[in-house]
Each structure stands twice: as structure tokens, then as C-alpha cells.
Amino acid sequence: MIDAIDIVKKFDDFTVLDGVSLNVKKGEIISVIGPSGSGKSTLLRCLNKIEEIDEGVIRIDGEQLSRHNCSKLGMVFQNFNLFPHMSAIENVMEAPVIVKKMGKKEARELAGRMLSDVGLQDKADSYPGQLSGGQKQRVAIARALAMKPEIILFDEPTSALDPELVGEVLGVIKKLAAEHMTMVIVTHEMAFAREISDRVIFMDKGKIVEEGTPKEIFEDPEHPRVQAFLKRMM
Ligand code: ADP
Ligand code: MG
């Protein structure tokens, strides 16, 4: 579904992604872990065409990534990125109306269903400022789902949340997993990554240092940097 080959991304002289290759198959759930500054967010932003790559190729379903097919990828950000002046349902309707030119009535019905799916049917008319962090993140997930993406990229979806709100967001992601949604999840929630992933990727300094099944990475990591990172995290 996603085929990224030898991606290089630089900011001025600084190489943030140094030849990263990643293949994601339909229905697969991949967790990306690694220290801060290792390039995890930049990788997702390149996959979603928020950032342009300097070298390499990204293909979606065999076609080169472009502004025409990048809406096959949904994205959920650490800080929600909701429009503060729009209600929850308006946030969810926005992209179907603007990008897909869907009629407002149809988009509102769709958005209502998406909010129900994340357990927020009664918050449709609330504004982001009236919602908890966990509720905001669930609106952001509903907003991504409203575009019917083939894959959702999550960038530390629970890192900005108070601990007691993490579970409700992880619960929604687990529900998507049970529905076989294809997902790439950058996370510091090691127990969650271990439970949900088909494959775990460890990044450091712009490279994939090690990848494997959750069992391989968490029980028997080969690379000393992975061992040291996991020791700190667990
Ligand atoms: P991670 O998500 O793993 O913490 P990032 O992808 O956010 O890492 O960042 C990797 C490196 O790239 C960091 O050193 C960061 O400072 C740098 N970086 C990220 N975005 C930019 C940017 N727009 N301009 C310059 N440097 C950036
Ligand atoms: Mg990041």
C-alpha cells in the first residue's frame, strides 16, 4: 500500500531522514519508536506530503505520491490541530466539503456517524475549547476517518494528554485495529505498541536501526541503541 524507498530529507545542511525505506501492507499496523529528534514526525510528514522529500520515492498503491493521491493517507497529530472556531462536527465536515466537494447535508450526516464511531455523538456542537484533550483527539480521529483514508498516520496521538485520558484515545485506535484499518503509529506507549503492532520500527538519527515483530524488538532487541532506549522507557 505504501512503498517508500531510500527517503532522504534535509533541512538546510542537516539530514533528518538518511535513506529510510518503509513498506506498509494493507491491514498492517506498524509502530515507530525511537528517541526524540530521530526523524519520526518528519517521516510521517513526508509520507503525507506535508514535507517534500529530497531524494527517494514514495508510492501509494503503486503510484507516485502526489497531491492527487495523498488524501488516501489520513493524519492525526500530537496537538490535535483542530480549527478552534469550528464546532466538532464542523471540524469533521470540513475536508469532505472542501477537498471532496461533498454537499453540506451529506457531509454533516457523514460527520455525525464518524463522531458516533469515536463515542462523541453528544459533543457534535461543542467547540474544541469546551472539550478535554482526549475528546479533542477523538474528534481529530473522526476528522481523519471522514475522508475514508486507506491508511492513518498517527504522530504521538497521546503525548499531549493527561494520563487519565490516554486510555480513551488508545481505545479508539484499538477499535480501528479490530476493523483492520492500516495504520502507522509513532508512539512512546510501549505496552500499547507491543500489543497492537504487527511490526515495530526503531529509528535513531534519521535511520531505521532495527525492525521486527513486537516480540523481537521488545524481548530480544539486537542493536545496543534499541536495548538502551527500551531500558529507559520501561
Ligand atoms: P522526532 O519526531 O523523532 O522527535 P522530528 O522528525 O520532529 O523528530 O525531527 C528530527 C530533527 O529534524 C530534529 O533535530 C528537528 O529539530 C529537525 N527538524 C524538524 N523539522 C524541522 C524544520 N522544519 N526545520 C529544521 N529542522 C527541523
Ligand atoms: Mg515527533
Residues 6+ apart with CB under 8 A from 129: 84
Q: Which atom of ligand 1 is nearest to the CA of 12?
A: 25
Predicted confidence (pLDDT) at residue 71 exceeds the cutoff of 90: no
Residue 226: alpha-carbon gap to chain centroid:
22
Strands 55-60 and 2-11, bridge-based pairing:
antiparallel
| Mean local confidence (pLDDT), 14-28 | 97
Q: pLDDT (tens digit, 9 = 90+) per residue, 89-148?
A: 999 999 999 999 999 999 999 999 999 999 999 999 999 999 999 999 999 999 999 999
State residue 70's pLDDT score: 86
Indicate which residue's Cα is closest to atom 16 of ligand 1: 37
Residue whose C-alpha is closest to residue 53's, from 2, 11, 108, 113: 11
Q: Candidates 42, 52, 54: which one to mutate for ligand 1, based on the most atoms within 8 Å of Cβ?
A: 42
Ligand 1 atom 19, closest CA: 42
Q: Which ligand is nearest to the CA of 16?
A: 1
Ligand 1 pocket test, pick from 7, 8, 11 with the greatest ligand atom count within 8 Å of Cβ, gives 11
Ligand 2 centroid–CA 86 distance in Å is: 26
Q: Which residues have a Cβ under 8 Å from the Cβ of 130 and sit 6 or more positions away?
A: none
Using a 6 Å cutoff on CB, does residue 49 contact ligand 1?
A: no
User: ipTM value of the model?
Assistant: 0.97
Cα 159 to chain centroid, rounded: 12
Mean pLDDT of the chain: 96
Q: What is the pLDDT of residues 182-211, one digit of tens each?
A: 999 999 999 999 999 999 999 999 999 999
> CA-CA distance, 105 to 138, in Å (whole number)?
22
How, if at all, do strands 151-155 and 73-76 pair?
A: parallel
Which residues are CB-neighbours of 208 under 8 A, at least 6 positions away? 20, 21, 22, 201, 202
| pLDDT for the residue numbered 234 | 77
Residue 136 to residue 129: CA distance in whole angstroms:
9
Bridge partners (DSSP) of residue 23 are 3
Ligand 1 centroid to Cα of residue 207, in Å, is 13
